[in-house]
Structure 1
Amino acid sequence: MKHRLLSFYLLLALFLPVATTHAEPAPPVENLSSLIENALANNPELKSSAARWQMYRSRAAQAGALEDPMLMLKIQNGIVTNPLSFTADSMTQKVIGISQQLPFAGKRKLKEEIASKEAETYRWSIEERKLELTRMVKEAYYQIYFTDKSLGILDKNIKIIDDFITLAQTKYSVGQGAQQDIYKALLERSRMLDMKITLEQQRRSLEANLNSLLNRPQSTPVGRVADFKLTPLSQTPEQLWGTAEANRPQLKALRAQIEKGRAGHELARKESYPDFNVSFEYMQRQRAMGSDGSDMYSLGVTFNLPIQKERRQAMVAESSSEITMAGEELAGVKNTITAGIADLLAQMDRRKKLVDLYSSGIIPQASESLESAVIGYRVNKVDFLTLLDNRVTLFNYEREYYDSMADYQMKLAQLEALIGKEL
């Protein structure tokens, strides 16, 4: 009965790889620059932000324009008892006039500046969104790289486990091994197949996320990511902060908001000065009642009396609060960027050291240890549990190596988004 059960497990172990590794032809290798370019060209949220910016640019052009002039046509001093007669009285006149509203000097320019600075904040929000979108594409790209490498390591280790099963079965058949060794190997193989199912699901989720960022059909296949070398980074934190101060769109947007608040403050101050309405009227008369009927004209200026102080004081307070708000937010963003640069550099340095350590020391040593354990198991100097432990150790180190590779590049993408410039 035990032999039949063992044979069943062995057949199952041989069958499962066939069922899980059957796949369609792999799509071509992905190009990161092309993916980013497509995302920036097709992402709907980015297009929406661009349309919003154009909308506010158009508002800026409206803000500085004069109001339309007013044309006036009227009959003045008409006789009620004879309303259509223009000769019954010498004061009856046919009048044509025009008037124009003129804001106090400087108000139009300030209104246009306020609208322009508001539009500028939306312009920089587009650039900020581009940075964020680029970072997200890069993160998805390198997560796919790590997932594919993990799947490759799993496939390699499943083959190693298959060799262990064969080796354990051979030793058991000649009375030199324990049946428990075979069951341990089969259990370890099943555990790895379980991990493979999880990684394949993660791969599909990452594909869906990347396709969403690129605004393309979810059925679009995503190819593998080519091997790469870590991007060296030589800038100091101070240099990176200087780059951020000159390039980060969010900082530029907040500075534009401060300038908008200052223009609003100046406009609120000018609201204490009156606006003017200039008018001209031409009055045409007929001869009547001994009058020669000479034409007449009227020229006048009217203006408001800015005596309502509460509204204007509220305008000043509003603009002052906007300046304070944007200034404090700017200081907070600067602190966030400074702390973020230091944190990301520390994490990247750690990952770089781990990559060097794994590639030059730990993984070669773990490989040699596994090879030694296999030889020792063949001659009964090492037990099967030690053999499996060496295999698991190598597996974990290989995964951590590729995890460090991918995470370094993701942290670099985050750093580029933080300072507003590709490194």
Structure 2
Amino acid sequence: MKYRLFPLYLLLSLLLIAPAVHADATKPAPENLDQLVQSALENNPELKSSSARWQMYRNRIKQAGALEDPMLMLKIQNGVVTDPVNFKRDGMTQKVIGISQLFPFAGKRQLKEDVAAAEAEGYRWSVEERKLELTRMVKETYYQIYSTDRSLAILDKNIKILDDFITLAQTKYSVGQGAQQDIYKALLERSKMLDMKISLEQQRRSLEVNLNSLLNRPQTAKVGEINDFKLPPFGYTPEQLLDIAEDSRPQLKTVRAQIEKGKAGRLLAQKESYPDFNVSFEYMQRDKAMGSDGSDMYSLGVTFNLPIQKARRQAMVAESTSEVSMGDAELAAARNTISSGINDLLAQMDRRRKLVDLYTTGIIPQAEQSLESAVIAYRVNKVDFLTLLDNRVTLFNYEREYYDSMADYQMKLAQLEALVGRELSSAPPVPESGSESGHAAGHQ
């Protein structure tokens, strides 16, 4: 009989296993931060728009230095009004073809190219600045999702533990060793955690939407699990980071390009005090008439403007000078902002690293021991249920703070990389006489 029922047992087993297998198949793969950043840099529409703008200004460089089109002239000169189509009535009637070309004063074309090139260079570095900003936003969202996922995992674990506490409190109450209030208190705490879980799940979904927007992928796309990590070693000094920012930060290069544009514009404005030349040539064809042999004629000439409007040209020079002064001031302000930002972020990162070490080596192990001791004491009626619950909530808060510190450290590192203009994944060697560069956290 049992052999005949074996196929039925097998079918039931497959039916029970199938949903779990299907769930695993549809579960998104763990996320890779480098791949997410690369995808954002390749697909983000705002970055594509900025790149197209840069290309647009690049194409203006040759336009700025190009000569104006030559002018072709066709005319009839000295025609007789009473007989307009008779070119042999008067010996001075001529059919004229001419060409003229405007030539700016020496150096103006090159300076116009320099102005356009500096402007395009500024937009180029604006694109690089946008890339840094986009990378920072992806990394921040990535680590916010990491912190949210860890909080949800801790919540699920604590809800299960509270269920055990509720069972324990009910057992003690049933034998007259506990208070019914303990059960209600535990149920209330469980409901508060469920409320927190709903908020965190909504927060996780909002972060998914934000990340999908940055990557320009469908909003329904699911973000996979984010693996645990250890804090990387960090040995950069503020002085080293300032040097890196001076060489790498696109914002500084954008301002420098603006200064160069102002300088080239000032030289161009000064050149406006010199005239531009218009060279022309005309060929005049004549017919024999009135005793004239009808010899053809030509005309060659040069015309130029008289740059006597000094006020306009002085204003052009003043405008370019102000642009250079503005750029110098913006460069100094940007350097001050970067310097203060570096020191502030280093202080925050140092605080988070110390907290991670403290939670790993001290607070969390001690809180776990305290909770274990409270559970044992509660079983033998040496502490009340409120003490047991308080120890559980305390450990719960410390575990969340640990993961929050881990994620915040990485977010501050992403902000620091955006501030100095380059990745800081590998720390420079620390001098032997220097202090320790930091401690890697190992709590998983």
Partner of 1:281: 282
Alpha-carbon separation, structure 2, partners of 1:357 and 1:24: 39
- 2:435 aligns with none
Deviations 1:118-177, CA, capped at 9 Å, x for gaps: 111111111101100000000000000000000000111111111111111111111111
User: Which ranges of structure 2 fall in alignment gaps of 5 or more residues?
Assistant: 1-22, 425-444
Q: Which letter does structure 2 place at the counterpart of 1:353?
A: K
* Mapping 1:14-413, distance limit 5 Å: 26-413=27-414
Alpha-carbon separation, structure 2, partners of 1:78 and 1:91: 8
Given that residues 348 and 408 in structure 1 are in contact (C-alpha distance below 8 angstroms), is that contact kept between their aligned partners in structure 2? yes
Q: 3-state SS of the aligned residue for 1:298?
A: strand
User: 2:246, 2:69 → 1: CA distance?
Assistant: 43
C-alpha separation in 2, matches of 1:117 and 1:154? 55
Distance in 2 (CA, whole Å) between partners of 1:321 and 1:131 is 30
Matching residue's letter, 1:135: R
Runs of 4+ in 1 over 6 A off after TM superposition: none
Give 1:296 deviation, angstroms. 1.4
Aligned residue-pair number: 402
CA separation in 1, counterparts of 2:343 and 2:170?
55
Q: TM-score, normalised by structure 1?
A: 0.93
1:419 and 2:424 equivalent?
no
Secondary structure of the corresponding residue to residue 86 of structure 2 = coil
Q: Deviations over 1:369-399 (max 9, x none)?
A: 1000000000111111111111111111101
**Structure 2 vs 1, CA of residues 397 and 218 (structure 1 numbering), >3 Å: closer, same or farther?**
same
State the SS of the aligned residue for 2:59: helix
C-alpha deviations, 1:5-57, integer Å up to 9, x for none? xxxxxxxxxxxxxxxxx999532111111111111111111111111111111
Structure 1 spans left out of the alignment, 5+ residues: 1-21
Tell me how far 1:325 sits from its aligned partner. Answer: 1.2
Corresponding letter in the other structure for 1:109:
Q
> Does the residue aligned with 1:89 lie in a helix, a strand or coil?
coil
Distance 1:417 1:364 in 2: 36
In structure 2, the residue corresponding to 1:45 is in which secondary structure?
helix
Cα offsets for 1:56-75 (capped at 9, x unmatched): 11122211110000111111
* SS of structure 2 residue aligned to 1:68: coil
Distance 2:27 2:95 in 1: 87
Shift in Å at residue 233 of structure 1? 1.3
Distance in 1 separating the partners of 2:119 and 2:52: 14
2:66, 2:269 → 1: CA distance?
18
Q: Distance in 1 between matches of 2:24 and 2:415?
A: 34
Distance 1:248 1:242 in 2: 10
Read off the aligned partner of 1:229 and give its amino acid letter: K
Q: Secondary structure at the match of 1:302?
A: strand
Q: Percent identity?
A: 79
Counterpart amino acid of residue 68 in structure 2: E
Separation of aligned partners in 1, 2:144 and 2:82:
92
Query: Aligned partners of 2:180, 2:78: CA distance in 1, in Å?
Result: 122
How far is 1:101 from its partner?
Answer: 0.6
Kindly state the Cα deviation for residue 264 of structure 1 after the two structures are TM-superposed: 0.6
In the alignment, the residues of structure 2 paired with residue 152 and residue 226 of structure 1 have an alpha-carbon distance, to the nearest angstrom, of 13
Task: Describe the superposition over 1:252-272 as per-residue Cα deviations: whole angstroms up to 9, x where unpaired.
Answer: 010000000111111111111
- SS of equivalent to 2:149: helix
CA distance in 2: counterparts of 1:110 and 1:369, whole angstroms: 76
Partner Cα separation in structure 1 for residue 114 and residue 386 of structure 2? 76
Whole-angstrom distance in 2 between the partners of 1:73 and 1:129: 53
- What is the CA RMSD across the aligned residues, in angstroms? 1.4
TM (norm. structure 2) is 0.89
Q: Residues 231 and 409 of structure 1 are in contact (CA less than 8 Å); yes or no, is this contact kept in structure 2?
A: no
Distance 2:91 2:201 in 1: 99
Residue 293 of structure 1: how far off its partner (Å):
2.2
Deviation at 1:188, TM superposition (A): 0.8
